[in-house]
Amino acid sequence: MTEMVYGAVPQRDAEPILPKWWRTIDKWSFSCVLILFGIGILLGLAASPPLAEKNGLAPFHYVQRQAFFGVLALVAMVLTSMMRPDLVRRLAVMGFLAAFVALILLPVFGTDFGKGAMRWYSLGFASVQPSEFLKPAFVVVAAWMMAASQQINGPPGLSWSFLLAMVILAFLAMQPDFGQAALVLFGWGVMYFVAGAPITLLLAMAGGVVLVGSFAYSNSEHFARRIDGFLSPELDPTTQLGFATNAIREGGFFGVGVGEGQVKWSLPDAHTDFIIAVAAEEYGLVLVLCIIALYTGIVVRSLVRLMRERDPFIRLAGTGLIAIFGAQAMINMGVAVRLLPAKGMTLPFVSYGGSSVVAGGIAVGMLLAFTRNRPQGQIGDLLRGRR
């Protein structure tokens, strides 16, 4: 009688949070991330002592910092992966607003650390790069807009997300940081394609990227220098690319041996942008293929689970997050073997970098939250029901 008057009593899930989280999470992707983090610590032990010695620090100073930030990233990843998708969306909106304001204020309060690009805030004991945190938050916000546009009488979310992406690209280009700008544009483009954008529009966007690249080449010495170095038939062996290419060649299939590599003494960014060169020289092609397999496993597993998802927002957000994750790994390794122009971009969970690893932990935590098993029919059931 009580239920007839007041309605049915809501049933609460009596299963504890941790067992439910472990039962529903993608354990394979989670394990791959842990292995990548372990490989990063291993390579940090090899790559960072020369830089620590050069700066007058303890031999494992950077390894200790990498472990500290890595633990923060793993904690953030686990906590984020426990959240419901709607809670992830709310936190992403707040995080996006904070990161976007920080990005706008970089020309006033930021620093370039002598690298010619205003990308960081110096906190004394550490530095923060707002664009690293902006990427995953923007993906979720853009996915929310695109999903809302698919509803009846919904807002023009596709147009809003495009305008927001263009504003972000403009601020990133002003730093200049064309690598992060390319990642943001790539993530948005993949989501836009999944949302049903016509191929002609995507081709027009590709043409626009070529025009913008030509303009940047003509007006940015920083951009032109990197493109010229990539297109040059002769590779200067004293440049970072020259050292990295030689290290990969010397490593062969099994490497020269643990601690026997020499590239870490020549490259100032051996522990960050060119960490894969250290892996190739000391451990050979075997470890490099293992690293590639781990990234591939995360990407493929996530996409397979997202294909079964019925919620448009979750499909779009998850696809955008995994697209940026996979593209960043591909760009980092592609630069090291000279398949792509030089670009300061870390290898997720492997390279040293506080902002990069913590933001990566949050991004993968969001992805794991979106790919958790939920009580729903598969999308194939919905499609069959429409016949």
Mean local confidence (pLDDT), 89-110? 93
- Check if the beta carbon of residue 263 is closer than 8 Å to that of residue 246: yes
What are the tens digits of pLDDT across the range 165-181? 999 999 998 888 888 88
**143, exposed or middle or buried, with CB in 10 Å at 0-12, 13-18, 19+?**
buried
Strand residue runs (E) in the chain: 121-122, 127-128
Greater confidence, 236 or 54? 54
- Quick one: pLDDT at residue 268? 73
Report the chain's mean pLDDT, rounded to a whole number. 84
Residue 235, pLDDT score: 65
Q: For the residues 343-370, what does the mean pLDDT come to?
A: 91
Kind plus residue range of the DSSP H or E element containing 194: helix 178-194
Q: Which two tokens stand for residue 91?
A: 């936190």
Closest CA relative to residue 340, chosen from 208, 207, 189, 186: 186
Tens-digit pLDDT profile for residues 295-313: 999 999 999 999 988 899 9
Identify the pLDDT of residue 166.
92
The residue that leads in pLDDT, 127 or 92, is 92
Q: Is the pLDDT of residue 377 over 70?
A: no
Per-residue pLDDT, 134: 95
DSSP states of 351-387? S--HHHHHHHHHHHHHHHHHTS--S---HHHHHHHT-
pLDDT at 141 over 90: yes
Mind listing the pLDDT tens digit for each residue in 100-118?
Answer: 999 999 988 888 877 777 8
Interval 247-262: pLDDT, tens: 888 888 888 887 777 7
Query: Is the four-CA dihedral 336, 339, 342, 344 of positive or negative sign?
Result: negative
Residue 252: per-residue pLDDT: 83
| Mean predicted confidence (pLDDT) in 142-151 | 92
Q: What pTM was computed for the model? A: 0.88
Of 70-74, 178-182, 237-241, least confident by mean pLDDT is 237-241
Residue 86 banded pLDDT, cuts 50, 70, 90: very high
Residue 114, judged by CB atoms within 10 A of its CB (0-12, 13-18, 19+), counts as exposed
| Res 371: pLDDT | 94
